[in-house]
Structure 1
C-alpha cells in the first residue's frame, strides 16, 4: 500500500488518540504510600524501562539501586545479600509503566516510599509520581550508602508531608506549571529551574525548610512532569489503528516504546550511550547505557523535542546550538498536532508538537533526541553528567510492522 494511503488510514485513529491526550488535565492531588497506591507488595520493587528478560540483563547501576531499595525496606542486611535475592527471583521486579508510575534513571520504587497522586481533572485516569531525592550520589543513580539512606528518609519524612500540607484544596494543575517552565527556557527534562520556581510560587503555604530544599534540587520537579505526561498519554492506550506513542522508556539495556493501537506490547532495541557534558573527571567511557522512564516527556513533546527552545541546556550538555536547533525542528515534524497550552517563543508559529507518531519516526529513519542524565556504568559512582541519547528507529519500525499486522 502506498505511504500516503497508510497515512490516510492512520489520520482518523490518530486524531482520536490525540484528542484524548490533549483533553487530560493532570493535577497533583496528594501524598500516598507506593505499596497502597500501586499494589506493590512486600518483596516487590518497581523499575524503569521495559521488563528485564533475565537477571543477567540488569545493568550494575540498576542492580545496585534495586539492592539498595531492598536493604532500605529491611528485606536484606547487606547489598550483596540483596543482589542475591534479586538474581534468584526472591525479590520480584515489576515495570513501572505497568504499575502506573514513572521514575527517572534506575527508577526504583519501594512499597514504603511516598509518591504523589496525579489525577485527571477532566476525566478518568490516575498516575503516581515518585519524589526525587537530592545529590549526585543517590539511589536512582545506583548508590546506596548512609548518606543516600538519609536522603531517602528526608524525602519520605520531611519533604513529602510538607508538600502534602501545602497543596491547594482541589489539587495543583500541572500543565500551567509546564507552560511557565518552558516560557522560562526549560526543556522540562534536564533543565527544570523555571519549573521549580513556578512550582514553589504555586505553593505559598510551603514551609521555609522544604522551600529551600526544593530550590536546591530543581530536578525534583521533573518527576511531576513525567507523571503528568504519562497520565495524558495513557488516555490514548488502546485506540484501534493509532500509531501514536504512549510510552517511551529505557532500562539501561534496551529502549522500548508502546503505541496506542497495540496496547501494552513493548517494542525494543538496544539502548544507546548518551553523549554530552560530563562532570570532571568522568568521560564518555564511564557512561551507562541510556536508562530511565523520563523519556516520557519526549513522547509528550518536551525535552529533546523542544531542544530548539532551550539554549541553556544545550550549553550545559556541551552540544552545539546548531545541532540542538536542527534536532528540535526535525523532531517537531514527527508529531501529528500542536499543544494548545505550551508555546515557547523560540518554537515560532509551529509551536510545541503533540502526538508523537511512530509512523513518522519510522519513515524519517532518524533516531529521536532524548535529553538525559548520565549515570556511571560501575553502579557506584552515581550521576556523572547530562547529555543526549537516541531512541532507536528500530523500536518504531517494529511497532509499525505489528500495527500493520493487526489492521
Structure 2
C-alpha cells in the first residue's frame, strides 16, 4: 500500500469522459477505456446466447463464407425469367399496400402502368389495394433493389454468381437520377426511360456480357475502395471501372445503340451500385442458415419498417420503425419532406462496405454531411460490432486495414452500438424524388428481438 501511495497515480477511466478530461486538465495521465452498458433488457438473453456452445464455431464458419465469396457479374436477364406470374418485388421486409409509404406506393403504381396492368394511376392504386398482384420482398427471391426496390416482369436484372459457394443474386438496373421509379415517380418520362431500358439497355448489356464473360466484382470493388468509393453512396470509381470492362463489348453487341448505352452509363455515377448490391447479396447469402450463428445476413427497409435477418434464424424478419435520416438536404427541402429510410441498399453495409467503409471515401462527407474525421470514426467504431476484417476490401487511410464485416447481434447488444448506414433520402410524397442524403440508425428493436429469438432457439 505504501508503495502505491508513493508512486505517481495511474488512472484508468471507464466510460467517464468528463472525469478523464478533468484529470488531464490537472496533468494527470489517464488510460481511457471505451465501455458502454449493454442494451437495456438484453442481459438475460445475451448471457444465454453467449453461453451457446455452437456460437463461436458457427460464427467463424458463417463469416468465413461471407468474406470468401467471389461474386462475378455473369449476365443481365429480364425479370420475367426470374419472377413468378402476377408478382412484384419490393425492398425491405414484407409490406402491404395499406402500410406502404409514398415512394413505395408511387413505384408500385409506376410498375402497374409499365406492365399495362392499369388504365391510369387511380386504377393502378385501386387494383393494388385489391391485391391484383402479389407483393413479395426482393430478399425472398435472391434479389435486392435500391430505395423502393420495385421489380416487375419487363425490367432487367444484373445476374451475379458466387464462384466460391455457387449462389446467385439479382438486382435491377440503375435508372439514373432525377425523376425515377425507385423514388416513387411514375410520370411519362419515367415510363419512357424504363421502356428504353427494356428495349435497348437490357439487351445491349446482355449481349456485351456474353462477349466479355464473367466480370470479377470482388476485384472491381476492391479497386474502387482504393480509388475513393465506399460503394453505397459513392460509386464513381466503380462505375468507371465497370464501363471500361463493358464498353468495347457493348460496341460489338449493339453497334447502332452503343453510343446511347454508353452515354447513359457515363452520365450516372451510381450505375455500379446495383451490381455491387447484387454482389453483396451473393456474399451475405453464402453465410445464411448456420445453426447457432448470430451473424446478420440482411438489413433492409421498406419505407415503413427496418428489418434484419440472422444466419441462425433462417428467413425470419426482425423489425422496428424505419427512422428518418439525418443529413444534408437538396435545395429548399428539409426533414419535414423526408420519407423514413427505404431500400435494400443496406446490403452494402451488411457485407462490409458502404457506411462501414466511409474511412476509404473522404469525399462522401460532402454528400452525407460531417467531417472527414467523422467518417474515420464511423468506420473504426464498426470494428466493435463485427466478427472480421475483409481480406479484399482494404482502406488505405487505415494502413490498408480490411473493412469491418460480419455484424454480430450479440456485439450490438453488448456495446449498444448500432450499424452505421449512409443513405439517400426519398421525399415523402410519391414522385418527389431524392431530397437529400445522410446517416440513419437502425431501430434497436430489430436487434433485441433477434437476440431474444436466438436465446429462445437454444435447446
TM range (shorter): over 0.9
Distance 1:151 1:278 in 2: 26
Bigger radius of gyration, 1 or 2?
A: 2
Match of 2:231 in 1: 188
On the 8 A contact 2:77/2:202 being kept in 1, the answer is no
Match of 1:210 in 2: 261
On the 8 A contact 2:385/2:417 being kept in 1, the answer is no
Match of 2:37 in 1: none
Match of 2:184 in 1: 142
Match of 1:383 in 2: 434
SS at structure 2 position matched to 1:76: coil
Instruction: Tell whether 2:69 aligns with 1:24.
Output: yes
Q: TM-score, normalised by structure 2?
A: 0.85
| Alignment: residue pair count | 404
On the 8 A contact 1:182/1:344 being kept in 2, the answer is yes
SS at structure 1 position matched to 2:151: coil
Distance 1:139 1:58 in 2: 15
Match of 1:285 in 2: 336
CA-atom RMSD in angstroms: 1.7
On the 8 A contact 1:278/1:385 being kept in 2, the answer is yes
Match of 2:25 in 1: none
From 182, 193, 205, the equivalent of 1:151 is 193
Query: Unpaired segments of 5 or more residues in structure 1?
Result: none
On the 8 A contact 2:395/2:401 being kept in 1, the answer is no
Instruction: Tell whether 2:124 aligns with 1:82.
Output: yes
Instruction: Tell whether 2:217 aligns with 1:174.
Output: yes
Match of 1:337 in 2: 388
On the 8 A contact 2:78/2:202 being kept in 1, the answer is no
On the 8 A contact 1:368/1:392 being kept in 2, the answer is no
- 1:332 is displaced (CA, Å) by 2.4
Matches within 5 A, 1:106-255: 106-167=148-209, 168-203=211-246, 204-207=248-251, 208-255=259-306
368-377 vs 289-298, which deviates more? 368-377
Question: CA distance change for structure 1 residues 126 and 5 in 2, over 3 Å: closer, same or farther?
Answer: closer
User: How far does the alpha carbon of each residue in 1:68-106 deviate from its partner, in whole angstroms, 9 at most, with x for none?
Assistant: 101110000111111111112122111100011001000
User: How far does the alpha carbon of each residue in 1:126-160 deviate from its partner, in whole angstroms, 9 at most, with x for none?
Assistant: 11121011222100000001110111122222222
- 1:241 is displaced (CA, Å) by 0.4
Distance 2:400 2:441 in 1: 26
SS at structure 2 position matched to 1:391: coil
SS at structure 1 position matched to 2:135: strand
- 1:40 is displaced (CA, Å) by 2.8
